[in-house]
Structure 1
Amino acid sequence: MSISPLEPSQLLVEDSRPSPVKTFKGHEYYVSSVSFLPSGQEIVTASYDGSIRTWDIETGEESGDALLGHKGDVYSVALLLDGQRLVSGGEDKLVRVWDLGTRELVGRPWEGHSELVSCVDVSPDSRFVASASEDSSVRIWDLDSGEKVFEEMRCEGPVCFVKFSRDGSKLVTCSRDSHVRIWDWREGTLLVGPMEGHEWAVRSAVWTLDDKQLISAGFDSKIRRWDSETGESIGEPVVAHEGYIYSLALSSDGRILASASGDHTANLWDASTLERLATFGHEDEVNSVSFSPDNKRLATGCDDRLIYLWNVPQLEGDKKSKNDSFLDVCPTAFLDAEFAADTS
């Protein structure tokens, strides 16, 4: 799928930075991971307080009991397509599977890593789980049995991030050694890389809709684009933030990229040109970012223990009429200001 470049004027912006629609309060320490459930009506978050929580977007309240079981920080959560189960990884070196209906652990935790589990991801067919660890390895697990598919894939430094390609055939890893790698995860063999260009730890990456390109970011504050077949860098890197970049997300239509940073902001970018479109300001470092399934909302998780919900500004082509303003297409942006103030 080709993505047409967007002109800066195509994004409706306010004179000042937008305010969040809602904030969600309940975690007792840093919020490390945030994702929308497939329904788009709930958000799931993980925290250094050892808990995983789900939130009702309309009420702003927790939906169900917190998922408790990890000993120490929880760093990553990945949802299955059915929205009924999720996988988590954390400081206790374990991978866990949870049932969101019963709020209970499914089976025993998966053991194997010798250091903390920094990231988990679920294959598109929901049959396999990839886990990345500070022990410099990536492991692939059979979701039903909890058994390892093979021993491990190894990088030259702690692995910060892992993500299956959209067609499920490949796996990208991002490491503290500043490299991006692409693997045939069924065989455990390296296909592309190490891809060199980042100057420090690489913390996140997204596949484009056709899997032909990767976009990555990390502690050098830069966003880079890669040819996923050759590993060649595409274009010049963009200095995207004034601090570390912790997380990237791509809208489901492939048009907008979001980045979360230690500079207290989350930015929106034209995914085709990497031109900045909008900035959302926070009170502390932003660790995670996620688009809603319909791309109308953005969720961010922060060091201030809060989860923020934002309206994504509408593109020019999405307006209903030439007279539409930001408030016309996003009417709740300020109507919920009182709620946000009460929960911050």
Structure 2
Amino acid sequence: MEDSQPSPIKTIKGHEGVVWSVSFLPSGQEIVSASSDGSIRTWDIEIGEESGDALLGHERAVRSVALLLDGQRLVSGGMDKSVRVWDLGTRELVGRPWEGHSDTVSCVDVSLDSRFVASASYDSSVNIWDLDSGEKVFGEMRCDGLVDFIKFSRNGSKLVTCSGDAHVRIWDWREGIFLVGPMEGHEEDVYSAVWTFDDRQLISAGEYSEIRRCDSETGESIGEPVVAHEGYIYSLALSSDGSILASVSSDRTAKLWDASTLELLATFWHKGQAISVSFSPDNKLLATGCYDHLIYLWNVPQLEGNKQSENDSFLDVCPTACVDAELAADTS
């Protein structure tokens, strides 16, 4: 059942702009965040203070970060149209910025074998980069609107895109052709999606405030959509055991759902719009990044009897705040 007005266990202050992206490092002891103030920062969650120097170099808002599995490097994309790789040990840029987009880089993702990086842009394209060389290695994939979100499938062969034309597409990214879609159902911009562990299903959400499931092989809807918020849904995340779904919204809430039944478990209220979200590796904490420049930490309620979802194949996504150009322009 939903808790009544739970309070954050910690509020982290330090950014001077919207927190577009938050993610726990593999240790679970630190969070990395990216902001419209142009910085990427890491935070010690026990003391709630910054750990190490800020990663500086983007000329405008940093919209997205994606961690490599080793937790030692991360990839970022921003409104300066560049993609960058950073070493968290030295706090320095690795190589040169990658140039190839003509508009804001809204989202980045790293393949699970850490060989390739995908970048999505408001120029309606997706680029694929070789992580080691920094060279663009596969042709552009283009959507009919702004590309807000991308995510590699677990087996690495496919890529999902969510875009401003209200469609979800699944691509063979090596060939630059789409395999499934454009999927119908969403009525406005789609901002986020999650693959299942076996890559058979997707959960997606966006401007229309609905959470939808679909079959990733056919593109057909699974079950009825759930009206989850009273505003835009900016980002989704799944706990690593697949039992809990998190959503964050412009209605100033983060919500937790039983991933099997979509029963509401908790609502976390913020002072401003909730933009980005991440589960800790042990699924005991939730981090949210917000329009009010703050990062909030919340306790995650445990399902009764350690209940596992029927959909326990869900993967946790690398959270990214994927929002529309109008909001981005307001906070650049």
Task: Give your verdict on TM over 0.5.
Answer: yes
- Aligned-partner Cα distance in 2 for 1:166–1:17: 36
- Aligned-partner Cα distance in 2 for 1:297–1:43: 11
Equivalent positions of 1:1-344 (< 5 A) are 8=1, 13-14=2-3, 16-318=4-306
Q: Any idea what SS the aligned residue of 1:234 has? A: coil
Aligned residues: 307
Q: Any idea what SS the aligned residue of 2:305 has? A: helix
TM-score by length of 1: 0.88
- Aligned-partner Cα distance in 1 for 2:146–2:194: 19
How far is the alpha carbon of 1:290 from its aligned partner?
A: 0.5
How far is the alpha carbon of 1:167 from its aligned partner?
A: 1.9
Identity of aligned residues (%): 81
How far is the alpha carbon of 1:151 from its aligned partner?
A: 2.5
**Structure 2, unaligned runs of 5 or more:** 308-332
> Which one-letter code corresponds to 2:243 in the other structure?
R
> Which one-letter code corresponds to 1:45 in the other structure?
S
Report if aligned partners of 2:60, 2:79 keep a CA contact under 8 Å in 1: yes
- Aligned-partner Cα distance in 1 for 2:213–2:303: 23
Q: Any idea what SS the aligned residue of 1:144 has? A: coil
Larger Rg, first or second structure (1 or 2)? 1
Report if aligned partners of 2:265, 2:301 keep a CA contact under 8 Å in 1: no
- Aligned-partner Cα distance in 2 for 1:253–1:162: 22
Q: Any idea what SS the aligned residue of 2:251 has? A: coil
How far is the alpha carbon of 1:299 from its aligned partner?
A: 0.3
Q: Any idea what SS the aligned residue of 1:235 has? A: coil
Q: Which runs of 4+ in 1 moved over 3 A?
A: none
- Aligned-partner Cα distance in 1 for 2:233–2:75: 24
Report if aligned partners of 2:196, 2:202 keep a CA contact under 8 Å in 1: yes
How far is the alpha carbon of 1:165 from its aligned partner?
A: 1.0
- Aligned-partner Cα distance in 2 for 1:257–1:167: 22
- Aligned-partner Cα distance in 1 for 2:118–2:259: 26
- Aligned-partner Cα distance in 1 for 2:273–2:31: 19
- Aligned-partner Cα distance in 2 for 1:190–1:149: 18
- Aligned-partner Cα distance in 2 for 1:23–1:127: 35
**Cα deviations by residue, 1:296-337 (Å, 9 ceiling, x for unpaired):** 110000011100011100111139xxxxxxxxxxxxxxxxxx
- Aligned-partner Cα distance in 2 for 1:318–1:19: 23
- Aligned-partner Cα distance in 2 for 1:273–1:212: 18
- Aligned-partner Cα distance in 1 for 2:284–2:172: 34
- Aligned-partner Cα distance in 2 for 1:18–1:61: 23
**Cα deviations by residue, 1:262-303 (Å, 9 ceiling, x for unpaired):** 000000112122222111111110000100111111000001
How far is the alpha carbon of 1:170 from its aligned partner?
A: 1.0
CA RMSD in angstroms comes to 1.0
- Aligned-partner Cα distance in 1 for 2:97–2:298: 34
